[in-house]
Amino acid sequence: MVSNQSTSSTAGRPGLQLPRWAGSFGFQIIAALIVGLGLGLLAKYTGSTKANPNGLGATLQTIGSSYVSLLQTAVVPLIFTAVVSSISNLREVSNAARLAWNTLLWFAITSLVAVLIGTGLGVLLQPGANTGISGDAEYDGKQGDWWAFLIGLFPKNFLGLGASSTVTDSGAVTTSVSFNVLQILVIAIAVGVAALKVGKQAEPFLALNASALAVIQKVLWWIIRIAPLGTVGLIGNAVAVYGWDTIGSLGKFTVAIYIGLALVLLGVYPALVRSHGLSVKQYFSGAWPAIQLAFVSRSSIGTLPLTQRVTERNLGVPRGYASFAVPLGATTKMDGCAAIYPAVAAIFVAQFFGIQLDFSQYLLIALVSVLGSAATAGTTGAVVMLTLTLSTLGLPLAGVGLLLAIDPILDMGRTAVNVAGQALVPTIVAKRQGILDETLYNAPRTGEAFREEEAPAAVDRELAESKA
């Protein structure tokens, strides 16, 4: 009897219940950032280095790389099923051609604004002048090339996969398999368009594809739910390996990049939102879960399911249109990686090697950034885009090697801006075309990115009720 009373009294104490915000996805990510930063500093100051990590450093590296590997594992099936599904969903959207054209147009407009900001900062801040670092860094990795870019659009096999072998110092041969996101995108677009042309006979295939997409998104949901753990490893490893010393040697360049990212994220995007009569606060509170995940994962594709969900549920973009625009943006809309970064980095390289750029070359930077953003292909890093820009301008590719050391630090901010833009453009286009659910856009936020138990039918029903 006493035991029962004691149990009941304990269970009823309100002080034992955690605040609702403490269990939210956003709070977990922020807490993981703080923990990862602390553990990274601890690992660094206990002697962990990139070449010889100590126990804590190796643990953080393993956790971070394993989480990224989990995200990348789902990239190929996700891109294929999402793009095929998005194209087939255009059947349910009126004025599909106009929506597609307006989406691409706003992709280009925002990218142009971003690259102009990057170019202006590069000229104003002079990040490549008086850096105090040597110019003997070499880069012999993957390079961007316009001809190779065009040839690479043609798939070599149905899955867009390739294999490469390397011989180690001990004579052992290791083989690795990679995928070409652009080729997968081309294949998916061709299959999606063909399914639309076939018509009724393609319905079973489209149903199977939609089912496969739902399964893949469920798996990605599980991966996303452990993002706080991955965050601890990724941030901790970045701090332990690179610390503040590396950033300091390229401090002006790092500051220039993050100023550019901040101007786009906190200046250009809010201005566009406000100019279309929408609440800036609601945009950021709606897109923030995806922006947070993008910052720590450094992958637009890995963040795609969350970006699409918040674009639909929080920002009020119709599912039929969002399922086309967001996957397309995740592979081609890169204001951080393909606009701000290559503009500032190209100017940095020119200044570092004492090369004077003329007006035509600045125009060429803008052209390459707007047209070549698909070369980044939604995966981590923007090195290919940078080499594409440098080779087009005739600048030394050795400059890439100078910037590789801080690339992971920069890539977090770049990807966050990428994803913010991938949610923004569909919202703007939907508003301009009169199909945005403003009731849903302006609704109070629940604090959750999305709820796992919700089925698509339930979401559609809720959207219909909100419109009614």
Integer Cα distance of 418 and 424 in angstroms: 10
First-last CA distance in the chain: 53
Query: Which residue matches tokens 């770049």?
Result: 414
Q: 25-72 pLDDT, tens per residue?
A: 667 777 888 888 888 888 888 887 777 788 888 888 888 888 877 877
Q: Which of 19-28, 143-152, 227-236 has the lowest mean pLDDT?
A: 143-152
Percentage of the chain beyond pLDDT 90 is 19
* pLDDT (mean) for 117-142: 71
* DSSP per-residue codes, 159-188: T-EEEEEEE-TTS-EEEEEEE-HHHHHHHH
Pairwise pLDDT comparison (202 vs 162), residue with the higher score: 202
Counted residue by residue, the chain has a size of: 468
Pairwise pLDDT comparison (256 vs 373), residue with the higher score: 256
- Check pLDDT > 90 for residue 262: yes
Residues 6+ apart with CB under 8 A from 190: none
Residue 74: its pLDDT value, please? Answer: 73
**DSSP SS3 for 396:** coil
Residue 462: its pLDDT value, please? Answer: 42
Query: Which residue matches tokens 């009731």?
Result: 439
- Check pLDDT > 80 for residue 437: yes
**Partner residues linked to 165 by β-bridges:** 175
What the block records as the tokens of 10 is 């304990």
Integer Cα distance of 30 and 35 in angstroms: 9
Residue 84: its pLDDT value, please? Answer: 86
- Check pLDDT > 50 for residue 184: yes
Pairwise pLDDT comparison (254 vs 376), residue with the higher score: 254
Confidence class for position 173, pLDDT limits 50, 70, 90: low
Amino acid symbol at 225? R
184 burial level (CB within 10 Å; 0-12, 13-18, 19+): buried
